[in-house]
Chains A and B, each alone.
Chain A
Amino acid sequence: MSSDQPFITDESQVVTETRDARMTGQGDRFNSRLREAFGSSPFILTKFDKFLNWCRGSSMFMLQFGIACCSIEMMHTYAVKHDLDRFGSGVPRASPRQADVMIVPGTIVSKFAPRMKRVYDQMPEPKFVVGMGSCTISGGPFQEGYNVIKGAEEVIPIDIHVPGCPPRPEALVYGVVKLQERVANGEASPVTVKPYELEEFSDLERDELVDKLADEIEEDELVMRYNFADSP
């Protein structure tokens, strides 16, 4: 477009027709709360943090992460009928490096916990975790199992717990929407940037077990220690 005076707009047009159309519109379809907040002015005054939180809450990328029974209901939540995408959080990413939210759908056992920790550590900040099902709360029906971690919180921090065995897809949707709400309001648990938290074998306190395993495990091998007697 060419114009002699490119920076001057026709004020009358903006103030009258455009504004009226914005304010009243045809029905409420395009009149979101955001639009109301804008009013006639194209500017909005807010804190950058607040804006960013709102963005984060409105578009969440999920980690495609199936563990146990709950992952079946999680698949149903992503698929037709429940369609988590309606809430702006239905894009499952196969790589943890592209994901914002990890839904932990199932029982964590001793062999898997260090791997889950590793996957969590690979997600970029800020990251959020939804614990799905009773197993991620306390070990659920398998709490007494000799091999079962008594809740995912023993390994990674969790923002929202969705109880149920398994929770219905509606419950998971509710949990995710609650998380979005909290994220948008800046209420999610504080993010602390930490190095890899898995210990090396040489970091462990020396005791009978460590001494016994000393010739089996290398000094710099990453390990996770379970004190089953102290678990809740």
Chain B
Amino acid sequence: MSLERPDSVDDAAVERTPDELEALLGDLVVDRDDHLNAPGFVIRPDTVQETLSILKEQAGYDHLSVVSAQEYENRYESIYHLKKFDDPTQEVSIVVPADKDNPVSESAEPVFRTADWHEREAYDLIGVEYDDHPDLRRILLPETWQGHPLSMDYDKDRPQIATLPEHANPLQEHHKDAESDTMFLNIGPHHPATHGVLHLKTVLDGEQVVDVEPDIGYLHRSEEQMAQSGTYRHQIMPYPDRWDYISAGLLNEWAYARAAEDLADIEVPEYAQVIRTMGAEMCRIAAHMLALATFALDINGDFTATFMYAINDRERVQNLLEDLTGQRLMFNYFRLGGVVWDLPEPRDEFFSKTRDFLDHLPESVEEYHNLITSNEIFQMRTIDTGILPPEVAKNYGATGPVARGSGVDYDLRRDDPYGYYDELDWDVITEDGCDNFSRLLVRMREVEESAKIIEQCVDLLEDWPEDERNIQANVPRTLRPDDDTEIYRAVEAAKGELGIYIRADGTDKPARFKIRSPCFSNLQTLPEMANGEYIPDVVAALGSLDIVLGEVDR
């Protein structure tokens, strides 16, 4: 991987102790506020850009995972969670308190492009205002919404009015010009190519895209509020299934499980970790199959062959997951400290079913390659369209297959190991094409890697001694993590880095629960990929991002 500035390579690779970082930042640091996962430095609200650019350029923290904002009794606070793409275990949190009466804080957008949407979300839900932000508007709620729903004095029962702006057209004057070939096109929120309820405001010049602006929030189901009103032990776990609902349920549950287990210091038995790893990879296969199916649908309009074949393979893997968890889609299978029950009896039957599926998989992947990737028309539509250079991808905080399709070698399963992944033999897939085709190829090859992982897990589980099958650690009935402990933990979900930030306040419910959704950051790259291209390429680029709106909007 190449870094932006060759002279900073040495600096960037070095792992610094918290004290060295504090020395590097010097006077900028006002106070320390360490989190469980990283050292935290408190800075003044008008030095955000300065601090972040020092950390980015001199210390190599080139990945802004998430901006999480919250309101305290006496102040507002934004936290910038920084990481390195080279080594995500090196983390640092920058805590920016803002005044209670006038919550203004400097925007980080000039340093990290990805802060744009994250700060808009913080403004929308919490009410922190960001100075120097290019476009500080509401992002998830209607623009006419009253109040900031996750702030402390919000009244949930107050009436609200939402508008349906008709034919909102910023180009109206241009239409009067007979010579001009510019038009405004609304794609969505109800449109077959938007993969759910996404709205793309597109400005066209002839057939070429001048500007595309994703408008999100049509599926904002207040997931963070739901999690904040549930107890750690049982009431939160059903919700992660519904963030990324493309059968990636176990992967999402793992994100919550990992954060909460580290917060409450729970050790998960090894046997449960193997089951978790196996289930999670089955989910990844199911999720990538749907990505493949809908991408083929977007590109070829192929509702018959590819779509049906891929759905058929999903049905197979869903049957396995149903045997394992008892549900087809919303598994609710993980518990803090393990999984809810052991493998289904008779175990042999489950293993042989799984092996049948794995034996059949190479053949179907071959079939997809014949149908899609070696199809000339498909190649013309996808190769060299939707270009996302690696530096741009990093700047936007893109992760998962989107980043790996741009050659960014970043996979939390390997780089920040959890579960049983570091004991198993598998590879991280990257492609250097940076285009729509590479992103699809990454997904298809990842399916094969997942199959390898599942196979090894099945081997392990088959030979596991009967008296050591411990599926759950001993977890107290009510969990009350210590007051004011904060943690940010992420896992590699189907779409990329899915992270959870939790602040505990000594009760059995989280005081702040923030979801870092990979799709939210990935979708931000769409204008970079689509501007200047033709209108069909927008659809291809959107399909190759493989977003799921439940996770974008939460």
Contacts and interface: CB of A to CB of B under 8 A. Distances in A.
Interface of A: 64-69, 71-73, 75-76, 79-81, 94, 96, 106-107, 109-116, 118-119, 141-142, 144-148, 165-166, 168, 198, 201, 204, 209-210, 212-213, 216-217, 221-229
B329 A221 contact: no
Interface in B131-188: 140-146, 149, 154, 156-166
Contacts of A201: 161, 163
Contacts of A71: 196
Contact of B247 (A72, A110, A144, A165): A72
B146 A212 contact: yes
B329 A109 contact: no
B550 interface: yes
A73 B329 contact: yes
Interface residues of B, number: 55
Closest 5 CB pairs of A and B: A145-B222, A69-B245, A229-B157, A79-B311, A114-B164
Given A68-B196, A228-B156, A228-B158, A144 B221 contact: no
B218 A115 contact: yes
A116 B314 CA distance: 29
B192 A94 contact: yes
Contact of A69 (B158, B191, B192, B242): B242
A25 B160 CA distance: 65
Interface in B513-554: 549-550
B246 A141 contact: no
Most buried by B among A94, A106, A119: A106
B226 interface: yes
B220 A168 contact: no
A96 B145 CA distance: 29
A81 B308 CA distance: 9
B165 A109 contact: no
Contact of B141 (A96, A118, A147, A204): A147
A79 B308 contact: yes
Given A147-B149, A213-B144, A112 B161 contact: no
B247 A67 contact: no
B217 to A, nearest CB: 5
Nearest to A109: B220
Contact of B162 (A75, A96, A142, A226): A226
Contacts of A118: 164
Given A76-B315, A110-B162, A229-B157, A216 B144 contact: yes
Contact of A141 (B189, B195, B239, B328): B239
12 contacts: A67-B219, A68-B549, A69-B329, A80-B312, A106-B219, A111-B162, A112-B219, A115-B190, A210-B161, A225-B159, A229-B158, A229-B159
A109 B219 contact: yes
